[in-house]
Chain A
Amino acid sequence: MATAQAAAPQTRTIVNDLVLHVATANGSGSQTSNMVLLRTLFQMGIPISGKNLFPSNIQGLPTWFTIRANKDGWIARKQDADIVVCMNPDTSDEDVETARKGAILIYEETLNLAGKRPDCIHYAVPFKKLIAEACPDVRLRKLVINMLYVGVCAQLFNFDMDEVRKAISTQLAGKQKAIDLNVPAVEFGYKWAAENLKKADPYRVERMDGNKGKIIIEGNAATALGLMFGGVSVVPWYPITPSSSLCEYLDEYLNKYRIQDGKRTFAVVQAEDEIAAAGMLAGAGWAGARAFTSTSGPGISLMTEIIGLAYFAEIPFVICNVARTGPSTGLPTRTMQGDLISLFYASHGDTKHIVVIPSTPKEAFEMGGEALNLAEEFQTPVFILSDLDLGMNYWMSDRFDYPTQPFRRGKVLDKEALDKLNGQWGRYRDVDGDGVAYRTYPGTDHPKAAYFTRGTGHTPDAAYSEKPEHWKANMDRLARKFATAKNRVPKPEVHSNGHAAGLIYFGTTTEAVREALAVLDHQHGLKLDLCRLRAFPFTQEVEDFLHSHERVYVVELNRDGQMRMTLNAELPRFAGKLRSVLHYDGMPLTADNVVQQVVSMEREK
């Protein structure tokens, strides 16, 4: 009988609070097993998050999946795991080091780990031997061996087996053969653990009611849904991790839900590169479609010339940057908030762009639709700034609300409007004083509808001009337009209680910051006010927040403090108040990291 060596006597039970880290090889099918673990916990009502730390490789390299389940809703990444499942012989020596002191190790018996980490609780499992019994067909063993650890974990930590079976059905929806293969494997692992392992650790999960009305979704799928319900119609794209799944989801949803009498109310086209994708966006936006693409940092770099053209020629389209770690090819499968400046000011000359920054799938959904509105309202490229962590990881989310507001298509003159104006109009005239001019769609059946679009200097009536006064007036109008946009972009989420110190953050640092704030308060007696940015340009609320705090921490995932730099540049009078809290190793932020940096700066203040 295999026994667990207990390093420390079991003194207490820890309920619904664990970090489970699974180490496998890429392409080994472990994704299904990990999703079953995640879903089971979710179905049991325990708040969870699931992060996939995978290599830039298709098969064979190490990959990790980390699940955090926490009854209080703390679901940010944690540095050290409570439970480590080692299935990858190539990395097991390192993997056991990711366990915190006194943690639990579950591993293939033949891996030579028995002498390692004596501080930990060891469960050695003969996975290879067991799979031979559990799965008679040799060819299928590789596919289901990972299901054994699901069973072992389920037994050790008290997962509800009915929920496990349900999770398998959901995960393998429609593939009955696969379900019939996987369920017995889990049951086999469960039974073996019950008969052979002696529980020596304090972890267990119990059903609770933390997830009512929630869903599990990746951010990329959420953005895609937002765009579909926002009426996107032209989607040229070029694959790049971690953005590809956004356009793939979008294609899938559109083909399912946007068919009219057997025909598509959209076009999804694979472009030859990102320059072409951007060019297609510009052509489609110019000609009156709601145009969108997703990309990541390297793609943004290539698109930059056309982004400037669209800014200057005033063409709407939306690009979602699902950011990854740069510069260059960088860490293609890791996360970063590293493309702030390259988006805010993308392209040469005086350029500034509207950028919306979701931090949750629900926001990604809402901002997907809203970005299309803002782009057409302001006739300009609009960016959604997401990142790998939001885009490709699994998040619990509230259900999305059906959008009830009509589309805002902006100032467009059709044939009837032109008739009323007797054809008297000018493409770049600031008729309303808000910097936003009127446009027409190519194909409008009116002899005065047409105008000449160019990236060169032009008059209010769209004629070519190199005159200094024309150039300057046009640039000033574009600045006016941007100022108008400042009042329309999503406002920050501010929690102010009159504390002297404030903290600014955005995007996927949200969970870590939330948790850090509680720790700072409870363990260090430090109280901070919060401001979560949701857009560029910065709205009045951001200015007010900076104004009303003595010192303000800016939390971001890059080396140079790009958001801090931008705040300094846009709101220079507060520059002296800003302090950077930075994290840039490619991994999602942890609360501990924030706590440490803030505590040490607060001491020095």
Chain B
Amino acid sequence: MAGTTEAPSTNKAGLQKKDYAGSKSTLCVGCGHDLITARLIDAAFDNSLKPENLVKLSGIGCSSKTPAYFVSRSFSFNSVHGRMPSIATGTALANRNLKMIGVSGDGDTANIGMGQFVHVMRRNLNMVYIVENNGVYGLTKGQFSATADKGSKLKHGQVNHMHAIDLCALAVELGCGFVARLFAGNTKMMKQVLQAALAYKGTVLLDIISPCVTFNNHEGSTKSFPWMKSNELAMQDIGFVPAYDPHYEEMDHGDERVIKLGDGSKITIKALDKDYDPASRTGALQLLAQHHESGKVPTGVIYLAGETPRFVDHLGMVDVPLSSLKEDALRPAKSVLDEVMDSLA
């Protein structure tokens, strides 16, 4: 284009938005997953994340393909169906300094991956675990997943008679410190929460309702765009203030709840409908149970506790990544072998 020569803006890491780009998406046009990908790119750029410190991990599914579509400058591991949590755990053990984004689907997490999901929620890793939740298996053409609501219908009329698994409730129950439910169509809230999640040091579960336009966007679906547009209950107005924002302290907080994260950034939460306290675990579980009845989908920060020691802290490991240790640290001296041999003689 001729004329405009305005320099593209750079962030605190000295990078431009394009440095956070990925390959072109190969998902269906209009897929909710692509909306999440776009906000992830924005959030990573606005947080000035260093791509070299970030790794992306996923399982298998349309959702699990998306790490290819953002931040190509970061390492990525598209693994096997339902096993991303263990791969992430191993990665964190080898290199405790990495920030991880785990991308999964509702089938990848709540069906085949349920075993690993619950255990990774118990381990406090430095990971944002995103479930791109469409209530079906997109990649295998539209079978129900375990997050499908009771009474919801597949494209050809089959009805789900079983209870849905509520991943947010499980995460709260299992000790995850930061749990949010989001709607991919509410991009403003999604972006703010993603930024906060990326700044948070610990496991974050983001259960993002992300409609599958090809297999689960019809009438009778409770994970469709139209259903979510009329049933989303956006509970909060959420803001994120990066650590480097010098102006924030002077601003008037009003009735906002301000939660400071470990890196100095802040998340601001202004309750819209009622005064919901996201620091209360029982409150969180109550809210979720209540809305299973109502059919409404509350979105926002369901639960946010202060940052607590991480899994790697409890293991008492050295401060540097284990992957950086060399022979001098990894092989004990000959005297050690002599000592052991003597004890066995």
Q: Is the CB of B75 within 8 A of A451?
A: yes
CA distance A391 to B171 in the complex (A): 40
Query: Which B residues touch A284, using CB under 8 A?
Result: 90-91, 93-94, 322
A264, A280, A449 — most chain B CB neighbours (10 Å): A280
Q: Would you give the shortest CB distance from B82 to chain A, in whole angstroms?
A: 9
Which residue of chain A is the closest to B92 with respect to CB atoms?
A: A283
B51, B80, B119 — most chain A CB neighbours (10 Å): B80
CA distance A98 to B97 in the complex (A): 60
Q: Is the CB of A452 within 8 A of B53?
A: no
Query: Which A residues touch B68, using CB under 8 A?
Result: 452, 464
Q: Would you give the shortest CB distance from A349 to chain B, in whole angstroms?
A: 13
Annotate B80-105 by CB proximity to A: 1 below 8 A, 0 otherwise.
10010111111111110110000000
B289 contacts partner chain A, Cβ-Cβ < 8 Å: no
A188 contacts partner chain B, Cβ-Cβ < 8 Å: no
With beta carbons under 8 angstroms apart, the residue of B89, B93, B312, B336 that contacts A257 is B336
9-residue interface stretch from B153-161, B243-251, B313-321: B313-321
Q: Is the CB of B316 within 8 A of A273?
A: no
Q: Is the CB of A450 within 8 A of B78?
A: no
Given A267-B317, A289-B94, A442-B95: A283 and B87 interface contact (C-beta under 8 Å): yes
Query: Which B residues touch A272, using CB under 8 A?
Result: 115-116, 119
A571 contacts partner chain B, Cβ-Cβ < 8 Å: no
Q: Would you give the shortest CB distance from A115 to chain B, in whole angstroms?
A: 44
Given A278-B86, A284-B90, A291-B94: A449 and B345 interface contact (C-beta under 8 Å): no
Query: Which B residues touch A278, using CB under 8 A?
Result: 86
CA distance A267 to B88 in the complex (A): 14
Query: Which B residues touch A257, using CB under 8 A?
Result: 332, 336
Q: Is the CB of B80 within 8 A of A309?
A: yes
Which residue of chain B is the closest to A281 with respect to CB atoms?
A: B90
Q: Is the CB of A306 within 8 A of B91?
A: no
9-residue interface stretch from A81-89, A131-139, A400-408, A513-521: A400-408
Q: Is the CB of A441 within 8 A of B95?
A: yes
Q: Is the CB of B80 within 8 A of A403?
A: no
Chain B positions 112-133 with a Cβ under 8 Å from a chain A Cβ = 115-116, 119
B337 contacts partner chain A, Cβ-Cβ < 8 Å: yes
A271 contacts partner chain B, Cβ-Cβ < 8 Å: yes
Q: Is the CB of A234 within 8 A of B332?
A: no
Q: Would you give the shortest CB distance from A381 to chain B, in whole angstroms?
A: 13
Query: Which B residues touch A403, using CB under 8 A?
Result: 331
With beta carbons under 8 angstroms apart, the residue of B53, B74, B345 that contacts A214 is B345
Which residue of chain B is the closest to A283 with respect to CB atoms?
A: B90
Query: Which A residues touch B57, using CB under 8 A?
Result: 283
Q: Would you give the shortest CB distance from B334 to chain A, in whole angstroms?
A: 4
Annotate A193-221 by CB proximity to B: 1 below 8 A, 0 otherwise.
00000000000000000000011110000
Query: Which B residues touch A451, using CB under 8 A?
Result: 75-76
Which residue of chain A is the closest to B330 with respect to CB atoms?
A: A231
Q: Is the CB of A288 within 8 A of B76?
A: no
Q: Is the CB of B316 within 8 A of A263?
A: yes
A286 contacts partner chain B, Cβ-Cβ < 8 Å: yes
Given A267-B315, A280-B89, A399-B341: A454 and B322 interface contact (C-beta under 8 Å): no
With beta carbons under 8 angstroms apart, the residue of B73, B94, B338 that contacts A233 is B94
Q: Is the CB of B52 within 8 A of A400?
A: no
B55 contacts partner chain A, Cβ-Cβ < 8 Å: yes
Q: Is the CB of B315 within 8 A of A264?
A: yes
Chain A positions 276-331 with a Cβ under 8 Å from a chain B Cβ = 276-291, 305-306, 309, 313
9-residue interface stretch from A64-72, A222-230, A595-603: A222-230
Q: Is the CB of A446 within 8 A of B94?
A: no
CA distance A257 to B330 in the complex (A): 10
CA distance A232 to B88 in the complex (A): 19
Q: Is the CB of A450 within 8 A of B327?
A: no
Given A230-B331, A275-B116, A279-B85: A291 and B78 interface contact (C-beta under 8 Å): no
Which residue of chain B is the closest to A213 with respect to CB atoms?
A: B345
B2 contacts partner chain A, Cβ-Cβ < 8 Å: no
B340 contacts partner chain A, Cβ-Cβ < 8 Å: yes
Q: Is the CB of A265 within 8 A of B329?
A: yes
Q: Is the CB of A273 within 8 A of B115?
A: yes
Q: Is the CB of A280 within 8 A of B52?
A: no
B276 contacts partner chain A, Cβ-Cβ < 8 Å: no
Q: Which size bracket describes the interface of A in this complex?
A: 35 or more
CA distance A400 to B329 in the complex (A): 21
CA distance A269 to B315 in the complex (A): 8
A447 contacts partner chain B, Cβ-Cβ < 8 Å: yes
CA distance A216 to B75 in the complex (A): 47
Chain A positions 360-393 with a Cβ under 8 Å from a chain B Cβ = none
Given A230-B331, A276-B89: A400 and B80 interface contact (C-beta under 8 Å): no
Given A215-B341, A231-B327, A265-B325: A286 and B91 interface contact (C-beta under 8 Å): yes
Which residue of chain A is the closest to B334 with respect to CB atoms?
A: A402
CA distance A450 to B67 in the complex (A): 13
A27 contacts partner chain B, Cβ-Cβ < 8 Å: no
A443 contacts partner chain B, Cβ-Cβ < 8 Å: yes
Q: Is the CB of A287 within 8 A of B89?
A: no
Which residue of chain B is the closest to A453 with respect to CB atoms?
A: B77
Query: Which B residues touch A3, using CB under 8 A?
Result: none
Which residue of chain B is the closest to A254 with respect to CB atoms?
A: B332
A190 contacts partner chain B, Cβ-Cβ < 8 Å: no
B265 contacts partner chain A, Cβ-Cβ < 8 Å: no
CA distance A15 to B80 in the complex (A): 61
Chain B positions 59-83 with a Cβ under 8 Å from a chain A Cβ = 67-68, 72-80, 83
CA distance A453 to B334 in the complex (A): 38
Annotate B155-196 by CB proximity to A: 1 below 8 A, 0 otherwise.
000000000000000000000000000000000000000000
With beta carbons under 8 angstroms apart, the residue of A236, A275, A281, A287 that contacts B95 is A287
A258 contacts partner chain B, Cβ-Cβ < 8 Å: yes
Given A269-B93, A447-B51: A276 and B86 interface contact (C-beta under 8 Å): yes
Q: Is the CB of B52 within 8 A of A446?
A: yes
A158 contacts partner chain B, Cβ-Cβ < 8 Å: no
A350 contacts partner chain B, Cβ-Cβ < 8 Å: no
Query: Which A residues touch B329, using CB under 8 A?
Result: 260, 265
Query: A275-B115, A283-B88 provided; 16 other pairs, C-beta below 8 A?
Result: A225-B340, A236-B86, A261-B318, A265-B329, A266-B322, A267-B312, A276-B85, A276-B89, A279-B79, A279-B83, A283-B93, A287-B91, A400-B341, A407-B331, A449-B75, A464-B68
Q: Which residues of A are in contact with B by a Cβ distance under 8 Å?
A: 214-217, 225, 228-234, 236, 253, 257-258, 260-261, 263-267, 269, 271-273, 275-291, 305-306, 309, 313, 399-400, 402-403, 406-407, 441-447, 449-456, 463-464
Listed by A's residue number, 19 A-B pairs whose Cβ atoms lie within 8 Å are: A228-B332, A230-B331, A231-B327, A253-B340, A265-B317, A267-B93, A275-B86, A276-B86, A283-B77, A286-B77, A289-B95, A306-B79, A402-B334, A406-B327, A447-B52, A450-B51, A453-B77, A454-B78, A463-B23
